[in-house]
Amino acid sequence: MSEIYESVKAFGTGFATTFKHMFRKPITEEYPEYKRPLPERSRARIVLTRDPDGKERCVGCYLCSAVCPVSCISMQSAEQADGRRYAEWFRINLGRCIYCGLCEEACPTSAIQLTPDYENCQRDILTLVFEKEDLLVDHCGKDKEYCFYKYAGISTAEMGKGEHINEEKPVNVRSNLP
Ligand code: SF4
Ligand code: SF4
């Protein structure tokens, strides 16, 4: 008897829910005519951003590639005459990416960033292999001020170690040896 009661109750609850929604204003969003703006921190299409002075932020350190759980980032690092490193080529297979954001977390220069642009679907999966030219944008993305080369404590043609903003003088690690 209690089973019949439970079944009737379940039907009644279901129909009541349907009935209630019959008189509500529909909230259907007509995609793609209407595209709901997503929060800035949404994780979708990946870009490579630039420093405020317009130079490439990526220093080809391989950290994003190492941390990526699906191994979809590859690159080749190189060095300019002034000691500044960069990625000679940089490739992301977005067909494989799971948009976890770990690459962005690991990046010391704020170069690699995920954006709210989610319209990446393609029929040909190979078109989702993005090269550096496809990834590089002409702005700083979320991090408007940061410039790795001003704070990193590396020696370049412009400044030596210990001369960058807020940087302490280098420590002679050998002086700690016995
Ligand atoms: S978002 Fe995640 S899966 Fe995609 S490239 Fe970055 S680390 Fe790899
Ligand atoms: S995007 Fe960032 S983490 Fe990846 S190689 Fe360039 S600087 Fe390193």
Residue pLDDT, tens place only, 115-129: 999 998 899 999 999
Tell me the mean pLDDT in the region 95-115: 96
How do residues 119-170 score in pLDDT, each as one tens digit? Answer: 988 999 999 999 999 999 999 999 898 888 777 666 777 777 788 777 777 7
Ligand 1 midpoint to CA 114 (Å): 9
Ligand 1 midpoint to CA 96 (Å): 9
Place of tokens 């690690």: 173
CB 83 within 8 A of CB 156: yes
Ligand 1 proximity of 103 Cβ (cutoff 6 Å): yes
**Ligand 2 atom closest to the CA of 107, numbered from 1:** 3
Ligand 2 proximity of 140 Cβ (cutoff 6 Å): no
Ligand 1 proximity of 147 Cβ (cutoff 6 Å): no
* Nearest Cα residue to atom 8 of ligand 2: 61
Rounded Cα distance between 27 and 100, Å, is 29
Instruction: Check residue 170 and give its pLDDT.
Output: 77
CB 141 within 8 A of CB 49: yes
CB 45 within 8 A of CB 120: yes
* Nearest Cα residue to atom 5 of ligand 1: 97
Summary mean pLDDT of the chain: 90
The domain made up of 46-167 is a member of CATH 3.40.640.10: no
* CB neighbourhood size of 9 (10 A): 10
Tell me the mean pLDDT in the region 94-112: 96
- In this prediction the pTM is 0.77
Q: How many CA atoms lie within 13 A of 104 on its CB side?
A: 20
Element (H or E) spanning 20, and its range? helix 2-22
Question: What residue spans define the domains of the chain?
Answer: 46-167
